[in-house]
Structure 1
């Protein structure tokens, strides 16, 4: 991939496709072209490979989401372990056993609530990133479609000009006979 990004690579491939058409031999009759099929199919395959950069970015976002979830679970486990240790210590102390049990239970619930909150925030962040990546991918596909349509229209216009020129030449030859 080029340093300028996937857009430039995609445009380079479209330019190579256009160059292939321009370099193709013309048939003497009908104005058709002989195009190297292998080169054409190779360029089409390369175009397909150039598009899914945003999908790779979406995968990275999903991996980052999983890392956030793993970190949240680890943090929750540490909080729970710390709460359990503190509860055990408080239970050992004679006068405040009941209070220690209640406090450790509250810490456990707080830790679970915090873990749920962290997981919910991670899910929301990942969903937002995934949505942005999907929108960016859709926009790039739309841009690529517009560009391809523009190139094909220019090509159609050039071909029509060639056909018009050939028709004029045929008419002139027929008139001279």
Structure 2
């Protein structure tokens, strides 16, 4: 059985590529349904959990940014209300403009800071996820190499004519 997602996808591609055409049709073919579904199930099983976690992190980041935008909008609306109230009195017109501008600057600054924090958090989380996936991938490659080496060594010393079985107990030693 294939072990890597790419290898499973290659097998599925070959199955479709080598499938026989249906009579009187060049764009339809006949596949072994169970074999194709088994390959798809194997592919799904191979995807690491980290991909799901990465999607959750991206969704969390988007939620965080949306909350920051909502907070900025509330602050902006508060600034507008405050500015309109102050504009009602002509004697404080200049003061109202200054206060409104300050509140807008604070809201924009807060929004930028929240976005920056969210981006840093997501970047760090995605970096850690990427490192975990890379480590898992390296471990899979190493395990595969050990398996092949063990299978080759067993096959070379096997009296059964090259039909060696992998001995997992020997791998643990």
Name the TM-score, length of structure 1 as normaliser: 0.64
The structure whose residues are more often helix, as a share, is 1
**Structure 1: how far apart are the matches of 2:40 and 2:153?**
22
Equivalent in the alignment of 1:112: 108
Seen in structure 2, the aligned counterparts of structure 1 residues 52 and 70 have a Cα distance that, compared at 3 Å, is same
Instruction: Spell out the pairing of 1:19-38 with structure 2 (5 A cutoff).
Output: none
The answer to whether structure 1 residue 58 and structure 2 residue 50 are counterparts is no
**Structure 2: how far apart are the matches of 1:47 and 1:155?**
24
Seen in structure 2, the aligned counterparts of structure 1 residues 106 and 145 have a Cα distance that, compared at 3 Å, is same
Structure 1 segments unaligned to the other structure (5+ residues) = 1-12, 15-37, 168-177
Higher relative contact order (CA 8 A, sep 6+): 1
Structure 2 segments unaligned to the other structure (5+ residues) = 5-33, 163-173
Cα deviation per residue 1:147-174 (whole Å; 9 max; x = unaligned)? 12112211111111115x769xxxxxxx
Higher Rg: 1
Equivalent in the alignment of 2:73: 77
Equivalent in the alignment of 1:124: 120
Q: What is the alpha-carbon root mean square deviation over aligned residues?
A: 2.7
Equivalent in the alignment of 1:96: 92
**Structure 1: how far apart are the matches of 2:149 and 2:44?**
21
Name the TM-score, length of structure 2 as normaliser: 0.65
TM-fit CA distance, 1:57: 1.2
**Structure 2: how far apart are the matches of 1:147 and 1:115?**
47
TM-fit CA distance, 1:93: 3.2
CA contact (8 A) 1:72 1:119 kept: yes
CA contact (8 A) 1:51 1:141 kept: no
Deviating beyond 6 angstroms after TM superposition, the runs of 4 or more aligned structure 1 residues are none
Seen in structure 2, the aligned counterparts of structure 1 residues 166 and 115 have a Cα distance that, compared at 3 Å, is closer
Equivalent in the alignment of 1:157: 153
